[in-house]
Amino acid sequence: MGVKLEIFRMIIYLTFPVAMFWVSNQAEWFEDDVIQRKRELWPPEKIEEFKERLRKRREEKLLRDAQQNS
Residue by residue, pLDDT tens for the chain (70 residues) are 789 999 999 999 999 999 999 998 988 888 889 899 999 998 989 999 999 999 999 999 999 999 998 7
What is the model's pLDDT at position 13? Answer: 95
What is the model's pLDDT at position 60? Answer: 95
What is the model's pLDDT at position 21? Answer: 94
Rg of the chain in Å (alpha carbons): 26
What is the spatial distance between Cα 25 and Cα 21, in angstroms, rounded to a whole number?
Answer: 6
pTM for the full model? 0.48
What is the model's pLDDT at position 9? Answer: 93
